[in-house]
Amino acid sequence: MKVLHVAAECFPLVKTGGLADVVGSLPLAQRRIGIDARVALPGYRGLARRLEFTRTVAAFDLHGFQIGVTEGMLNSVEGPEQRLPVYLFECPELYDRPGDPYRDAAGKEHPDNALRFGCFAEAVARFALHRGNGFSPALVHLHDWQAAPAAAWLSIQPQRPAVVMTIHNLAYQGLFDRRTFEHLGFPERWWSPQAMEFWGQCSFLKAGIQFSDAITTVSPAYAREIRTPEYGCGLDGELRARSASLRGILNGVDTAVWDPQTDPFIAAHYTAGDATIGKSANKSALQEELGLAVSTRPLVAFIGRLADQKGADLILAAREELLGLDAQYVVLATGDLALQEAFAAFAGTTAADRVAVRLLHDEVLAHKIFAAADLLLIPSRFEPCGLNQLYAQRYGTIPVVRSTGGLIDTVVDADAATLAAGRATGVHFRDADVGGVLYGLRRALELIADEATRDGLRRAGMAADFSWLRSAAEYRGLYRSLQAPRHPGPIAPG
């Protein structure tokens, strides 16, 4: 089966968040189980130089731009036999810019993002139908709003690949005005609540929801949540209408990259059998590196975006109470500027030897923190899946999470029954407020004060199967179900 994954990010080529990790890992896992999975990306600055065996395979004229498609091979950390074919959709005027995929070097969003990703999605649809490129996918797998309009363009073709739309975060929908809709040449009939119109705006993500053959999210719990008004971001009605085509498939992790037995970035390697010794050595090394007091106190970590979704403001609101607990804290994050300033001030308190804050994206430091920390705090208001709690468990770090989305699916709450059965891997708390955060953290600190309980939580977490092979097999089943003749899109009005 030939599958083309379409996204704005793919690790290690380009990354701003978890989307890149998924798109960099899932296709490789699928290739290991016999799927010819490949990736389509915008041709951002410098990416072509990082691919091997490049050649131009197609070119399209769209909206006054010429978009050339370069095919190349991305080497995998798992070895040359695990190379990933990548197609770069190159157009210097649209994609060859400093900064990340969405923002300039000063952190401001590009004002023409609708044009940039609208052209990308339309070019991908043409490429998927183009017989001269040497690769004709049976299925196109779209990821998030930047790729979603490709589903609409493909829906009007009599002979087309099946389309799967994965929603990584429903809060980001790609909303633009009517003028943008017209400029991108979308058919007038798509300006409809049954297609792309969303409360007077054009929603790229809604195109993926309405025109795809199947919709997935990145965890089963999030698939249920987004069909409710509380979490549906205004699209819960459309998602309920497509319930029969919607399912949650849990994300995985790259177990070669995230492995405390072989991780080149950590001070001491360890297994579940010697995690106490290994984590102690890593904690001491990290404390020295970050200027924390070298201590056996529990080390609590927060790694992620400083955004309302992630609940980072709740940590700040609870800072006085947190300093009253017998613990140290490390924060590795970037995001909202006001939150960055507040966290910097938190690190400058009189308890500076107990609080370390690094306001940057640093993959190496993240590995060190996962290996050193005792607890990982995730106070998310909503969480489609989350990867950090998966990385944490791989390293014997116990997650303390709010009960929402993928956190429910991946962290087994420590109650009397799960502890007795040896299944507990972390701590849940219900409320997204200061009280909830403090309740969860105090409960976790009480649990790990008992060494036997702490070691049991670590062992269960490190034994959990969060490999991409599990997810890849589930996606294979979904893909096969779409190979049968499909009804024309329910969805294309007019």
Q: What percent of the chain has pLDDT over 90?
A: 87
The residue-averaged pLDDT of 99-128 equals 94
- This prediction has a pTM of 0.89
CATH number of the structural domain spanning residue 386: 3.40.50.2000
Range of the domain at 381: 272-465
- Sheet bearing 201-203, strands edge to edge: 175-176, 201-203, 197-198
- Specify the number of domains making up the chain: 2
pLDDT in the model for residue 492: 40
The residue-averaged pLDDT of 292-303 equals 96
My answer on whether 193 and 294 are in the same domain is no
Domain assignment of residue 259, yes or no: no
Where is 38: in which H helix or E strand?
strand 36-42
Which stretches does DSSP call E strand in 194-258?
Answer: 197-198, 201-203, 214-217, 246-248
Q: What is the pLDDT of residues 236-253, one digit of tens each?
A: 999 999 999 999 999 999
Domain assignment of residue 265, yes or no: no
My answer on whether 288 and 337 are in the same domain is yes
Does residue 225 carry a pLDDT above 70? yes
pLDDT in the model for residue 487: 44
My answer on whether 325 and 396 are in the same domain is yes
pLDDT in the model for residue 414: 98
Average pLDDT value over all residues in the chain: 93
Radius of gyration of the chain (CA): 23
My answer on whether 445 and 477 are in the same domain is no
My answer on whether 287 and 201 are in the same domain is no
Domain assignment of residue 490, yes or no: no
My answer on whether 285 and 193 are in the same domain is no
pLDDT in the model for residue 130: 82
Does residue 40 carry a pLDDT above 90? yes
Domain assignment of residue 71, yes or no: yes
Domain assignment of residue 266, yes or no: no
My answer on whether 221 and 243 are in the same domain is yes
My answer on whether 215 and 278 are in the same domain is no
pLDDT in the model for residue 207: 97
Q: Which residue reads 């420590």 in tokens? A: 414
**Residue 488 banded pLDDT, cuts 50, 70, 90:** very low
Cα maximum dimension of the chain: 68
Domain assignment of residue 111, yes or no: yes
Q: What is the pLDDT of residues 338-376, one digit of tens each?
A: 999 999 998 887 677 899 999 998 999 999 999 999 999
My answer on whether 133 and 219 are in the same domain is yes
Distance CA 298, CA 70 (A): 50
Does residue 186 carry a pLDDT above 70? yes
- Can you list the alpha helix ranges (DSSP code H) found in 143-194? 144-147, 149-155, 178-183
My answer on whether 376 and 459 are in the same domain is yes
pLDDT in the model for residue 424: 98
My answer on whether 475 and 448 are in the same domain is no
Domain assignment of residue 233, yes or no: yes
My answer on whether 36 and 166 are in the same domain is yes
Return the structure tokens found at 446: 């009480």
Domain assignment of residue 492, yes or no: no
> Tell me, what DSSP letter sits at residue 112?
T
